[in-house]
Amino acid sequence: MSLTRIQKLTLLSALSLVVGQPCFAQATAAPALKKDEMPGDTASTIQIPAVHVSNLAKAIDDYKAGPSETTWAPVVSFLQTLLNDPQATQTDLSKLQSIIPQLGQIGLKVFDGGQARIWTFPQITQSREIIVEWREVKTTKPAAGVKFAPKSVIAHTQLISIPDVLVADAKVVSVPAAAPAKAAVAKGAKTATKGPAPQAKIPGAKFLVLTGNEKTVKTVWWSSYKFTASGWLPAADLMSNIPPSLNNVQGKVGLSGTDLVVTVTPSVGQTTSYGKPDASAYKLVFHLNGGKYVMEGTAVDESIHSIIFQFLKAEREGRMELAKTWVADPKLASIPKYVGLSSRISDAQMRLVAMPNPMNGCQRFRLVTYGRDDLIFDVGRRNDPKSKQIQWVIKSIFVAPADPALQKFARNLPSFDSSTFARLNADLEESNSVANAPSSQDQLEEPSPAKKSVASKRSTIK
C-alpha cells in the first residue's frame, strides 16, 4: 500500500523520535550561576537534545547537496521533531539558527499567528507543506487539600499539505460561541419561567486562516482550518460566502485583524504615465460574522465616505457653491455632471469601493455607478484657510469605464441613500475633531498589563 506525502513525513518523524529517545545530551549548556546571582533570560540558553540538532543539520546538508523530494522529506521530518521538543518550542528563529546555521540556508519564513506559529518554506520548490506549532494548556485534577488545579503545557506540531502557493499571511482567529437563548416570559407573568441553571461560558471556535498567491499565475489564494481535539482540520465553510470568482483574480490577500482584505491589482495597481489611477484595481473587505467571512454593508472608512456623500449630494441638488467646499480645486465640482451622473443614476444605485492608496498620502475610492462610467476619488487632508483647521477634502476625481465584474461584488456594499447620511455625518464630525485635537509629544501611554503579557500568551490554545 502506497503512502501519501504527509504519511511518509509523519512516519519519518516518529522514527526520528525513537532513535533520539535514549540521548539526553544538550546542544548548549546553561552556565553555572555565581553566588547571589539571579537567573538570566531563560530563552537565551536553549537546551535541545544534540541528536535533534545533528539530525536536522545533516538532513539540510544532504538536501543542499542534491535537492529533490526524497532529500527534502527528512528536513521537514527532523524540523518537526525538533519543534516538538519543549526547549525548542517558541524559541526565536534567530536563536535556533545560531545553534543550527543550516536553518538559514533553506529560506524559512515563520508567521506569528497569535496562538500558533506557522513555519513555511517559500524558497523550496519541492515544499508542499507547512508546519503548525502550538501549545495546549491542560488542567489536571488537584490533589486533596490543594486549592488550585495544576496546569501543564504540552507542545504540539502538525504538518498541513498545501498546493503550490506562496503563503503571505497566517493567523489564528476566534469565532465567539452563540449566546444562550434567554428564558421566555409567559403572557401575564411578572417574571420569566425558571429555566435550567446557567451554564459555564462556552469558548468560541478557533480557525487557522492562510492567505497567499498561486506561484505560477499569481492569483489570490486562501484556506482555513478549524482547531479540534484531533488538531487542525480543513474548514471550507468559513470561506463559503466569498464569491468563487475571486479565486481567479490577480492581486494580494491578507488579514487585517480578523478581516480578510482582497486587493485586486490585475495591472499591478500602479498609476499610468498620465497620472491616472489603475481603474482595474480595487479592494474588498470581508468581515468574520457568525462563523463565516461575508462582505457586510459596512464602510471601510465611513468618515471619508461621508466626504464623497456630501459632495455628491450638494452637486445633485444643484448647490454648486456648497459642493465646491468639499473639493480642493473648484473645477472638480463639474466632473459628475459632465459624465451625466446627476440625471440618470440614483443614490440607491451607487456603491463605494476602496482602492489601493496612491503614493501622495491620499485615500482612494471608486464610485460604482452602474452606468457607463464610474468615478475615482482621491481624498486627503488640508488646512482650511478660513477655520484654520485640518479638514478632509476631495483632491482629485478621475473618470473610469464601468467594470462588470466589480459591479457584481459591489452590490453587497452600502448604498448612498439618505438612510446612511446621519451616521456618516456623525463619523465625519468625530474624525475632524480628532484631527484638530492638540497633541503632545511629552505624553506617552504606558503599555497596559494586558499588552505586556501578550508575548507570554503566544501560541497557546486554551
72-96: pLDDT as tens digits = 999 999 999 998 887 776 677 888 8
The pLDDT of residue 160: 95
pLDDT level of residue 177 (50, 70, 90 thresholds): low
State the number of CA atoms in the 13 A half-sphere of 226 facing the CB. Answer: 13
Residues 27-49: tens digit of each pLDDT: 333 344 444 443 444 344 567 88
Mean pLDDT is highest, among 80-84, 196-200, 369-373, 405-409, for 80-84
Give the separation between CA 356 and CA 369, rounded to whole angstroms.
19
Predicted TM-score (pTM) of the model is 0.64
Pairing of strands 205-214, 165-175: antiparallel
Tell which wins on pLDDT, 181 or 159.
Answer: 159
Pairing of strands 373-383, 390-401: antiparallel
pLDDT level of residue 387 (50, 70, 90 thresholds): low
Phi and psi at 64, nearest 5°, equal -65, -30
What's the mean pLDDT in 145-165? 83
Tell which wins on pLDDT, 118 or 34.
Answer: 118
Q: Which of 94-103, 200-209, 230-239 has the lowest mean pLDDT?
A: 200-209
